[in-house]
Structure 1
Amino acid sequence: MSQLKHLNDALAYIEEHLDGTLDTGEVARIAACSAYQLKRMFPYLAGITLSEYVRRRAMTRAAQDLLATDEKVIDIALRYGYESPTAFSKAFRRVHGMSPSDVRQPGAQVTLHPRLIFTLSVKGEEPMDYRIIEQSAFRVVGIPSANGKWDLEDAGAKAAEYWEELGADVHKVVNLMDGSEPAGLLGVQFCKDGDFDCYMACVATNQPCPNEMEERVVAAATYAVFECEGAMPDAMNDLWHRILTEWLPSSGYEWESKTDVERYLTPNMISPDSRSEVWLPVVKR
């Protein structure tokens, strides 16, 4: 229950800081996780990204203020952290489908996005198999994402785009395999100082690093390993959802801000019988 309390305390903090003073780092601190983990978890837990949730709540409150008062639109915009009326109008229209001034017209219909409250959901009808391993540090060589740091809130879509753009170049990476463990093609999401650093298609290898690639070391960690079967990316996304919403809250482990590893064990990743694994770095709670 402590995890639920942390998350709900974080939601309460968000409600108190819809005026543009919201600090994502503070939200993560209250939620007892890193900013990296918060941005990864929130869409799985809430169905929307953290930034979109904040926007919807702020614009819901702004619409209520517009209907309940005679305040100028610019004053309400400033209250919710928008110094530009244009930016406020754009955000408002995205949520309500109309401009702020239109809300005050007779018969105007606005949208209420209620405050979230996380509650315990009793599931478990489908068992989740996993194993805990102690993995020593290993060197990887591969091709990092070319578009720099990703916004973690759309990391899943970015990863899918990355693999599509990688195309035939993935064979250059696979050809570096030399029997080093963990074997197989890896999708590694590196974390640095509690935040996202880099995503890379790579392999564990002792081969020299080609000029067009990059080498890194995956630090030693305790991993919870989950097997996945099905076509990418849907099967992997479904597994991540179950890990974060079902396994993690009841496992007795906490997600550690280290390096997440996805391990692809069959050549055809979009085949219905494709096999892969998720390696989640954990510490005993």
Structure 2
Amino acid sequence: MLERLNEAMARIEEDLATEVDVKLLARIAGTSEYHLRRMFSALAGIPLSEYVRRRRLTRAAAEVLSGQDSLLDIATRWGYGSNEAFARAFRAMHGVGPQEARAARKALQSQQILTFKLVVEGSTSMEYRIVEKDAFQVVGRGTRVPLVHLGMNPAIVDFVKGIGRPALDRMEALGDGEPGGLLALTYNQEGVEEGAQLDYFQGVVTSREAPEDMETLAVPKNTWAVFTTEGPYPETIQHMWRDVYTQWFPSNSYQSAEGPSMLRTEIDGETAKAELWIPVTS
């Protein structure tokens, strides 16, 4: 898997000055476009589109400093329709505009070419099972929140507090399916960088109709990889997400599939037991 992913990285370099076709990259990597984007983001720490943008601006920066071509020619070559658009993107990455960088020979940022290697760390195994599940519905309430990598997510904490304990108890009483209990579902995530927006839904799997003050989220038939963990809260749960994408997927034949991920958590003081459901395809 990593060898083919590196072949896709090499193809990005070949196509930087033209169009980078993500569907082609996915075929080279032997996976789906959706899984390639999720895998790349988890491994690299930035979205694939952002990596391509930063590589283009790195190449453009070298041409700006060389002084051989006009700034408009460089902007056009790297996909910008005007000097203004190029200058905004250039400044966002390098902290200085292209004209100033050329005149003052400023030090600029560089996005290195990424390659991926397998690193073996420790001997910890990851407990999981594969579950085939028909379509079902989740009843609860949803919102849009920013991504937080470490520590509590204030937006989620405030949202759940806003639902209130009585409503959460009524919600939990509706549950009659697997996974049981209150669930946190996340989907439609824009990226992996801190602050990226995603949909968050608090609810239960149920066959019952939603009360007037709640809504229904339909989840299609799917295959699920189910992971379990236990440890300090919330670090253990956040590390489980990271390890699934950076360790488990590269070591197995499954790929992540589109759809919501589901997390069930039991908190006891500073310790939590968690079960994470991720839709997959083989």
Which category describes the TM-score, using the shorter chain as reference length?
Answer: 0.7 to 0.9
The within-5 A match list for 1:136-175 is 136-146=134-144, 160=153, 162-168=155-161, 169=163, 171=165, 172-175=167-170
Cα distance, 1:142–1:26 mapped onto 2, change above 3 Å? farther
Q: Distance in 2 between matches of 1:29 and 1:201?
A: 36
CA deviations on 1:217-267 (whole Å, 9 max, x unpaired) are 3233332221233323x433311111111112223433333442212233x
Q: Which residue of 2 aligns with 1:213?
A: 214
Count of aligned pairs between the two proteins? 267
TM-score (norm 1): 0.79
1:176 corresponds to which of 171, 174, 189:
171
Q: Which residue of 1 aligns with 2:244?
A: 243
Cα distance, 1:249–1:108 mapped onto 2, change above 3 Å? same
Counterpart amino acid of residue 6 in structure 2? N
Q: Distance in 1 between matches of 2:255 and 2:164?
A: 33
Q: Which residue of 1 aligns with 2:233?
A: 231
Q: Distance in 1 between matches of 2:23 and 2:199?
A: 19
**Kindly, what percent of the aligned residue pairs are identical?**
36
Q: Distance in 2 between matches of 1:21 and 1:250?
A: 31
Contact 1:185 1:265 (C-alpha < 8 Å) held by counterparts: no
Counterpart amino acid of residue 231 in structure 1? Y
2:76 corresponds to which of 67, 75, 78:
78
* Secondary structure in structure 2 of the residue aligned to 1:105: helix
Return 5+ residue gaps in structure 1 as ranges.
148-153
Instruction: Please tell me the root mean square deviation across aligned C-alpha atoms, in Å.
Output: 3.0
Return 5+ residue gaps in structure 2 as ranges.
189-196
Q: Distance in 2 between matches of 1:41 and 1:170?
A: 36
- 1:53 deviates by 1.5
Contact 2:75 2:81 (C-alpha < 8 Å) held by counterparts: yes
Q: Which residue of 2 aligns with 1:135?
A: 133
Contact 2:175 2:181 (C-alpha < 8 Å) held by counterparts: no
Q: Which residue of 2 aligns with 1:46?
A: 44
Contact 1:18 1:58 (C-alpha < 8 Å) held by counterparts: yes
Q: Distance in 1 between matches of 2:46 and 2:199?
A: 23
